[in-house]
């Protein structure tokens, strides 16, 4: 995949398929230690040991609509190619945590990509999924740390029953996520 945001979207789709109601997505760009860490934690069905052992096999999938499952193997390969790795922790009934690490400055690291659009794809999935999003950029001095964070649970509470897909809310969310991500790029 050309950008890491597409890997993130794929893992979140897996969480939705596993009946997750809560997804915690954390991106940490630690410029001092030259690491990029992406963690996606869900409260879905989780996986038993046998499934967890096979999830990196590109010819294994639990979906009935296709015969290959390339998402996790491609994400793992992207991380390994950039002096990093991918770990998966999962327990039946407790959910799954996928963590990918990369050397931030590695020449082969794909760009993070269009996170505002990726977030909008996740947010427009429907009312059942709550997303807690944290994107932190650490550049050295404590006052140079930048953070963008939100929770759809808080947003939904403020909206008092108005769906996230309502046109005015959708427009606001699009602007909010774009501005939040843009602030992380400013030095």
Which pLDDT does position 67 carry in this prediction? 40
pTM: 0.91
Q: What's residue 70's pLDDT?
A: 67
Which residues does 184 contact at the CB level (< 8 Å), separation at least 6?
Answer: 29, 135, 137, 146, 147, 148
Report percent pLDDT > 70 for the chain.
Answer: 90
Domain-wise residue ranges, the chain: 4-185
* CB 177 within 8 Å of CB 117: no
Of the candidates 132, 171, 133, which has an alpha carbon nearest to the alpha carbon of residue 153?
Answer: 132
Q: Which residues of 81-115 are buried (b: 16+ CB within 10 A; e: fewer)?
A: ebbbebebebeeeebbbbbbbbbbeeeebbebbeb
Contact 131, 25 (CB under 8 A): yes
pLDDT of residue 68: 41
CA atoms of 17 and 11, how far apart (whole Å): 10
Element spanning 62, H or E: none
**119: which 2 tokens?**
């977030």
Predicted pLDDT at 21:
96
What is the per-residue pLDDT for 52?
Answer: 82
Each residue's pLDDT tens digit, 28-71: 999 999 999 999 999 999 998 888 887 877 665 655 554 445 68
Extract the residue ranges of the chain whose pLDDT is less than 50.
66-68
Q: Residues with Cβ < 8 Å from 27, sequence gap 6 or more?
A: 36, 37, 38, 39, 112, 115, 134, 135, 136
CATH of domain 4-185: 3.30.565
Write down the pLDDT at residue 128: 84
Q: Which residues of 12-49 are buried (b: 16+ CB within 10 A; e: fewer)?
A: bebbbebebebbbbbbbbbeeeebbbbbbbbbbbbbee
């Amino acid at each position: 995949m050309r950008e890491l945001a597409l890997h993130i979207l794929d893992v979140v789709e897996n969480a939705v398929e596993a009946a997750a109601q809560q997804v915690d997505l954390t991106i940490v760009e630690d410029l001092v230690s030259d690491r990029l860490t992406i963690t996606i934690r869900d409260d879905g069905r989780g996986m038993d040991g046998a499934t967890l052992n096979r999830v990196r096999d590109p010819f294994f999938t639990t979906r009935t609509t296709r015969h290959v499952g390339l998402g996790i193997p491609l994400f793992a390969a992207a991380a390994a190619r950039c002096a990093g790795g991918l770990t998966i922790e999962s327990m039946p009934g407790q959910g799954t945590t996928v963590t990918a690490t990369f050397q931030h400055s590695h020449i082969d690291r794909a760009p993070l990509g269009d996170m505002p659009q990726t977030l909008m794809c996740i947010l427009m999935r429907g009312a059942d999924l709550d997303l807690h999003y944290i994107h932190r950029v650490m550049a050295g001095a404590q006052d140079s740390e930048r953070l963008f964070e939100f929770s759809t649970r808080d947003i939904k509470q403020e909206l008092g029953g108005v769906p996230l897909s309502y046109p005015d809310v959708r427009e606001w969310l699009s602007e909010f996520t774009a501005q939040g991500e843009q602030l992380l790029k400013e030095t």
